Amino acid sequence: MGTPSIAHRVLLDECRNHRHTPFTSAYHRCLGSQRGLPYSAVRGKKSVNRQALDELKQQIPLMGYLQAHDWSPARPLSRGRWMGLCPLHEDHKPSFVVDTNKDLFYCYGCGRGGDVIRFAELYHQVQFWEALALLLQWRGVEHSLLHEAARFYHIQLHRHGEAFAYLYQRGVRSSATIELMRIGYAPGGCLRGWLMQLGHSLPALRQAGLVTGVGYDAYVRRIVFPLEGNLYGRSLSAAAPSHRFLPGAKGGLYAWAQVRQYPEVILVEGLFDCAVLWEAGFYNVTCSLGTHLNARQFRQLCDAPRTVYLAFDSDGNGSGQQAAHGLERSLRERGITARLVSLPEGHDPNSFFVQGGDARQFQSLLELAQ
Ligand SMILES: [Zn+2]
């Protein structure tokens, strides 16, 4: 029991040997390490499937785990990397770097780095197998919490006319879509009581980000969409930020397991775009929750030969179209055919349908896409 795996040691040694390498425009060697070694101890008694470990790590994004353990970044670096005080040693100036694309950390102060499993080992001062057990347990609690929260919000939706009115106004009008996407509503002020009644502890609710530090429901007057390992909340009130996620990664592409089987897929920015396209009968649609795809979402799009229709917002400042152009180039480099869908000026797929566009018209936009 408790012997770190060989791959683990290799990664660690590599980190130790390169602790003085300064960050350049490229990733630190530890952060960029993509060794194909299996995690299993070659001669060890226990071995664990590399794929299962990768899955666990995907389900527990490092940033979410860090934040749940009271870490917060002090400042952003480039390309999804963040810097903050090191939670592993007494740090006075930020020396701990987290790469959210690669889900790796490295500390310039204590010279330690690795993935979420390595972090759990160091933070809880346990051996590899115990760290794994802690993470599995943590994932279990997280999942059941998010599942219960989503179920609760879904029940609330049917009790709040204002939520239905909002969905209607955004073109989400069929109960099939609401059920398929498990859309819910967070009125605010009652989730905490419900979950605690089910036996969840307040610290667990805080850790998951469902409840604020002072004990209030984090989502108030928000339409809620369950994601893989997160909940997206869209505010009904103009006074609050429109979009919110729980701490942690937004996860992979929306409903990818179903969508990936289509040879042609439509990629949109938001869940309301996705919803109206579903209602219009386009089931090959997925969503990246923003114009910037994380590394996992990009890998998913490239996981088989296919054509991707990029239907991003056609907003006045051109940011959606600019992002679509960049993505089109990156996809083309990976051998994926990408086509840019031109929506009428000022429209996103949601507003296109809400303001009278229909499936036939959208289909002709797809056909015109280049
Ligand atoms: Zn450190």
Quick: pLDDT tens for 150-191.
999 999 999 999 999 999 999 999 988 898 889 999 999 889
Q: Which of 202, 220, 245 is the last residue of a domain?
A: 245
Q: Per residue, what are the HEC states of the chain?
A: CCCCCHHHHHHHHHHHHCCCCCCCCCCCHHHHCCCCCCCCCCCCCCCCCHHHHHHHHHHCCHHHHHHHCCCCCCEECCCCEEEECCCCCCCCCCCEEEECCCCEEEECCCCCEECHHHHHHHHHCCCHHHHHHHHHHHHHHHHHHHHHHHHHHHHHHCCCHHHHHHHHHCCCCCHHHHHHCCCEEECCCCHHHHHHHCCCCHHHHHHHCCECCCCCECCCCEEEEEECCEEEEEECCCCCCCEEECCCCCCCCCCHHHHCCCCEEEEECCHHHHHHHHHCCCCCEEECCCCCCCHHHHHHHCCCCCEEEEECCCCCCCHHHHHHHHHHHHHHHCCCEEEECCCCCCCCHHHHHHCCCCHHHHHHHHHHCC
Residue-wise pLDDT for 25-51, tens only, equals 333 344 433 443 344 443 444 567 787
Averaged pLDDT for residues 294-298 = 88
Span 307-360, pLDDT tens digits: 999 999 887 778 888 899 999 999 999 999 999 999 999 999 999 999 999 999
Task: Write down the pLDDT at residue 47.
Answer: 63
* Residue of 216 and 73 predicted with greater confidence: 216
C-alpha 19 to ligand 1 mean position (Å): 11
Report the separation in Å between the CA atom of 209 and the middle of ligand 1, taken as the mean of its atom positions: 25
Ligand 1 centre to CA of 261 (Å) is: 44
Q: Count how many domains the chain has.
A: 3
Is residue 24 scored above 50 in pLDDT? no
Please give the distance, rounded to the nearest whole angstrom, from the Cα atom of residue 115 to the centre of ligand 1.
14
Residue 106 alpha carbon to ligand 1 centre in Å? 8
Give distance in angstroms: CA of 71 to centre of ligand 1: 13
In a domain, 276, yes or no: yes
> Between the ranges 60-64, 203-207, 329-333, where is the mean pLDDT highest?
329-333
Tell whether 133 is covered by a domain.
Answer: no
* One domain, residues 280 and 303: yes
Say yes or no: 197 and 270 in one domain: no
Domain co-membership, 155 together with 228: yes
Expressed in angstroms and rounded, the spacing between residue 70 Cα and the centre of ligand 1 is 15
Cα(296) to centroid of ligand 1, in Å? 27
Task: Write out the residue range of the structural domain in which residue 40 sits.
Answer: 6-125
Alpha carbon of 112 to ligand 1 centroid (Å) = 6
Residue 302: inside a domain, yes or no? yes
Domain shared by 355 and 272, yes or no: yes
For residue 219, the CA-to-ligand 1 centroid distance in Å is: 34
Tell me whether residue 19 is in a domain. yes
Which pLDDT score is estimated for 26?
Answer: 33
pLDDT band (50, 70, 90) for residue 147: confident
Say if pTM beats, i.e. exceeds, 0.85: no
CA 114–ligand 1 middle distance (angstroms): 12
The CATH number given to whatever domain includes residue 47 is: 3.90.580.10
**When comparing pLDDT for 65 and 153, which is higher?**
153
Question: Do 233 and 276 share a structural domain?
Answer: no
Residues 220 and 307 in one domain: no
Domain check: are 306 and 334 in the same one? yes
Distance from Cα 85 to the centre of ligand 1, integer Å: 8
The CATH number of the domain holding residue 313 is: 3.40.1360.10
- Whether residue 134 is contained in a domain is answered as no
Shared-domain flag, residues 150 and 96? no
pLDDT of residue 80: 80
109 and 152 share a domain? no
Distance 26 CA to ligand 1 centre (A): 21
Q: Are residues 238 and 262 in the same domain?
A: no
Evaluate whether residue 92 is within a structural domain: yes
Q: How far is the CA of 99 from the centre of ligand 1 (A)?
A: 15
Q: Are residues 211 and 263 in the same domain?
A: no
Residue 41's pLDDT is what? 41
Residue 111 C-alpha to ligand 1 middle, in angstroms? 6
The verdict on residue 250 lying in a domain is: no
State in Å: Cα 90 to ligand 1 middle: 7
Query: Based on the domain organization, do 62 and 93 belong to the same domain?
Result: yes
Mean pLDDT of the chain: 84
Confirm whether 118 is domain-assigned: yes
Tell me the CA–centroid distance for residue 46 and ligand 1, in Å.
Answer: 30
Instruction: Dump pLDDT digits (tens) for 224-274.
Output: 999 988 899 999 999 999 999 988 778 889 988 889 889 999 999 999 999
Domain at 164, CATH number: 3.90.980.10
pLDDT over 70 at 11, yes or no: no
